[in-house]
Amino acid sequence: MNNFNSSQILKPQPPAAYRWIVLVFISLAMFGNYYVYDSIAPIADMLKSQIGFSDENIGTLYSIYSVAAIVILLIGGYVIDRFGTKLSVMIFGFICFIAAGVTALSSDFYVMMLGRLLLGLGAEPLIVAITTALAKWFKGKELSFAFGINLTIARLGSVAADNSPTLFQSYYINWQDPLFIATIISVMCIIGAVGYWILENRAEKKYELAQAGEVDRLDIKNMFKFNKSFWLIVALCITFYSAIFPFRSFAIKFFIEAHGTSREFGGFLNSILPMSAMIATPLFGLLADKIGNRALLMTFGSLLLVPVFLMMAYGGVSLFVPIAMMGIAFSLIPAVMWPSVAYIVPQNRLGTAYALMTLIQQVGLAGMNWLIGYSNDLSGASAANPDGYNLGMWIFSTLGFFGLLFAFLLRRTEKGPTGHGLELPTPHKIVN
């Protein structure tokens, strides 16, 4: 008797074009998320002059986002692993939309804090869910390149936010209208989530999709049981992003007050970082897929970051020079760092790993955004006292040095007997 039935017929793999369409939709959700996050920086000086916020208040708007992200990411990775990326992207994308609207409602500091808190509850687990989805659809294929394309589309949101004083110049009369524009753009979070839901529903019926396997229990003790390479990547992650993003939080205000730029040109300078990353990140990802040397590439990117802040504070060189160096680092390190995790962590723990990595990153951002705002106030940073920004620049440079140290230790580990082959084009210890 033949026991074969049609349910045992192997489904085909999704075609390449289908995978790239999936990537476009989930990246649209990232676009909206990034725009809303960066919508505060172009109006930072308006918040100070029009409604009396201090730099510490402005830093707190970023810090409360990170505090909320820390709370939600404690369970967010488990939720993604347990309920899947499809539902997770939908829920967290909708929260981002609500958060943008609340932030724009009132000049009351606590209402604005509530909006940013909601954004932290939605945006960071949304990023983790999308990162996990990318690993699901592209692992073993063009993973680093796919991460690069995803970041390109996402960072277009940052570029648009930084250049919004030029794009929406007539709305930059007051602090509130730009935030209403951010609310409209946040609809992209929902559009991307709905598109991804439809595509994955269809794929589940027609194609063979990667399965996450048995999901970890939510166990705090086991949650931290990852290998040494993972923790070195996490250490690089926290130092790298704690230098880059808090700098961007105050960069436009810094350019206006310390270097005498216009709001539009200051926004353009700030946008060079995500703009260069849009172009270079996919290329660096493709390079890593071809040549390996992932830890070496991260070391080089970290080295570039060390001097840039002091060059802006003290150097007589054009601002384009340190900003270009920072743009290369901002393109190179994320293009290699995030996909490397997929090669050193088991698939069934990948959502948890990315969530934990992002959580610890947010601990750094929560403290650093507040610290830079506080140090600016402490030093009296303003157009009348541009040297007041120098303390913050020294803090950023110190973080850059530690990032270089962690990248060096990662390369030494990966070249040793416990390495996962990250320096090879195809890692020889891909963890399943």
Q: How far apart are CA 154 and CA 332, in angstroms?
A: 16
| Nearest CA among 332, 309, 323, 308 for reference residue 266 | 323
Tens digit of each residue's pLDDT (9 = 90 or more) over 265-290: 999 998 888 888 778 888 888 888 88
Write out the DSSP string of 358-407: HHHHHHHHHHHHHHHHHHHHHHT-SSS-GGGGHHHHHHHHHHHHHHHHHH
Task: Flag residues of the chain having pLDDT under 70.
Answer: 1-9, 76-77, 139-141, 207-223, 351, 420, 427-432
Domain extent listing, the chain: 15-207+218-414
Token pair recorded at residue 400: 């850059």
Token pair recorded at residue 383: 């157009």
Alpha helices in 186-319 (DSSP H): 187-206, 220-223, 228-259, 263-291, 294-305, 308-314
Q: Are 281 and 389 in contact (CB under 8 A)?
A: no
Token pair recorded at residue 82: 């347990």
Q: How far apart are CA 401 and CA 406, in angstroms?
A: 9
What local confidence, expressed as pLDDT, does residue 214 receive? 38
Q: How far apart are CA 236 and CA 17, in angstroms?
A: 34
What local confidence, expressed as pLDDT, does residue 211 receive? 53
What local confidence, expressed as pLDDT, does residue 325 receive? 92
Domain 15-207+218-414 architecture: Up-down Bundle (1.20)
What local confidence, expressed as pLDDT, does residue 104 receive? 92
Tens digit of each residue's pLDDT (9 = 90 or more) over 36-69: 999 998 999 899 889 989 999 999 999 999 888 8
What local confidence, expressed as pLDDT, does residue 49 receive? 87
What local confidence, expressed as pLDDT, does residue 220 receive? 59
